[in-house]
Amino acid sequence: MSICEGILQVMEEQAASQQFKRVKSVWLEIGPLAGVELDALRFGFDVVTRDSLADGARLEIIEMPGTAWCLACSKSVPIRQRFDACPECGSFQLQITGGDELRIKELEVD
């Protein structure tokens, strides 16, 4: 719920600065390493935005891939969760380079 409240707060701030009255759609980029349960986010979004400028807004989720740099084999590799082993060499010396994002990519407004 706190993530949804933060998203609503950003939308309210943007509405004040950009002078729009209603949010029709929200696109979020979320990676598998962000620690967000997507079904809970969808439910929380509907609850938190009720009777707000985003009441009834469509929530679109863009799932971003998880990626890491393997220090052992010097390759960029895909990962699904933190502490995965390198799919190339089996090393656990990975530095996350993508997939931990949670950001508003776009708003459709009136």
Q: Record the pTM.
A: 0.84
In CATH, the number for domain 2-109 is: 3.30.2320.80
**Domain spans in the chain, listed from the N-terminal domain onward:** 2-109
Q: What is the pLDDT of residues 28-62, one digit of tens each?
A: 999 999 999 999 999 999 999 999 999 999 999 99
**Secondary structure of the chain in HEC code, one letter for each residue:** CHHHHHHHHHHHHHHHHHCCCCEEEEEEEECCCCCCCHHHHHHHHHHHHCCCCCCCCEEEEEECCEEEEECCCCEEEEECCCCCCCCCCCCCCEEEEECCCEEEEEEEEC
Q: Where does the pLDDT of residue 1 fall: very low under 50, low under 70, confident under 90, or very high at 90 and above?
A: confident
Q: List, as residue ranges, the binding site.
A: 70, 73, 86, 89
The β-bridge partners of 29 are 62, 103
Q: List, as residue ranges, the binding site for Zn(2+).
A: 70, 73, 86, 89
